[in-house]
Copies of this chain bind each other. A is one copy, B any other.
Amino acid sequence: MQLPRVGIFGASGYAGIELTRLLATHPTAKLAFVASERHVGTSVAELTGVEGPTGALRYVSYGAAREAARTCAAVLLATPADVSLVLAAELVSAGLRVIDLSGAFRIADAAAFTAAYGHAAPPAALQGAAVYGLTELHREAIRGAQLVANPGCYPTAATLPLVPLLRAGLVTTDSIVVDAVSGASGAGRRATEDYSLVAMHDNVRAYKLLTHQHGPEIAQSLALATAGLPVDLTFVPKLLPIPRGILATITTRLRAKSDAVELTRVLRAAYEGEPFVRVLDRPEDVDLHRVIGTNLCAIAVACEPRAGGRVVLVSAIDNLVKGAAGQALQNLNLLLDLEETSGLTALRRFHP
């Protein structure tokens, strides 16, 4: 039997490399091409350490990749948003199914998009076709999608814990704060002094305060999953001197008397049977070591047991896996009608 073929554009960034490594051991899909204008001719083995047939592939130009894409069941874009905009338009109109890991198609409102990204939004028709790919929340829509907007790392970490409590009407929506610390790979490959080891080591800073493009994405993601519940939130991202991982803490309040046990039960019910969400009892157990190297999102909640009581949700993901390449693979599996966990079950926690 012929395995479905897929290709990657932009295969040399951190997310592209992670995707390549995941697809290299995917048992029911075949990586047919990897495109990188910067590395044309280089072998995949050299950049990624992947061995075997996938390692023997060589990066091709975007031009060559456009040809190769025709034989593919789906194409993944790990390109910057402005490049994704152009490529997706072209590939979709050629009838191909596309999963885009950039932010190009994540924000439906054109004005909000332009404010966040600083350039023109996608054509309305194309944007209208895009399905927001937070797998656990939009699984059925993703299965049939022509174009999947794979979620941002922070929005994934913020949406999964909040949505079940919002849907159940348990927490207030008017002054949510999402504070999240991220490893440096979240900022992408960088060749500047600011991102050098000497400048970043032992250092922490908040960045893009009140202007980060994931702020409106989180708001939209919550609205999308709660039938438009108007959520007012403040997003505070911080950069850590570690390579991988996001830990988000989300503060809100109870609308009526409840407690951590009930909130945990609601979260657990919402994600029962989910292969990649783990609801834990103790917030201290939601640490980065638990998720780094895996496609898991770990969640727990602390709560003052009274009406109006403070609520703190904690969630953790590996920004390059559940926050990027891993979730893209989940979505690819849905598109291709494969087992959703295919290619993701062998991922192992890395830290001792």
Residues in chain A within 8 A of chain B (CB atoms): 14, 17-18, 21, 24-25, 48-50, 175, 177, 179, 181, 184-185, 189-193, 195-207, 209-210, 234, 236, 238, 240-245, 247, 249, 251, 253, 283-284, 286-290, 292-294, 302-304, 310, 312, 314, 320, 345-346, 348-352
Q: How far is the CA of A289 from the CA of B284 in the complex (A)?
A: 27
Rounded to whole Å, the gap between the CB of A277 and the closest CB of chain B is 12
Our pick among B24, B202, B209, B350 for the contact of A289 (Cβ within 8 Å) is: B202
Query: Which residue of the partner chain B has the closest CB to A202?
Result: B242
Contacts of A253 in B (CB 8 A): 175
Our pick among B181, B201, B210, B241 for the contact of A304 (Cβ within 8 Å) is: B210
Given contacts A196-B197, A247-B206, contact A352 B302 (CB under 8 A): no
Contacts of A245 in B (CB 8 A): 202, 204
A195 touches B197 (CB 8 A): yes
Contacts of A207 in B (CB 8 A): 283-284
Contacts of A314 in B (CB 8 A): 206, 209
Contacts of A289 in B (CB 8 A): 199, 202-203
B198 touches A14 (CB 8 A): yes
Contacts of A284 in B (CB 8 A): 205-207
Given contacts A203-B289, A312-B206, contact A247 B238 (CB under 8 A): yes
Rounded to whole Å, the gap between the CB of A201 and the closest CB of chain B is 5
Query: Which residue of the partner chain B has the closest CB to A310?
Result: B234
Given contacts A198-B243, A204-B288, contact A210 B249 (CB under 8 A): no
Query: Which residue of the partner chain B has the closest CB to A283?
Result: B209
Top 7 closest A-B pairs, CB basis? A49-B349, A209-B302, A205-B287, A179-B179, A197-B200, A177-B177, A14-B352
Contacts of A293 in B (CB 8 A): 350
Rounded to whole Å, the gap between the CB of A136 and the closest CB of chain B is 17
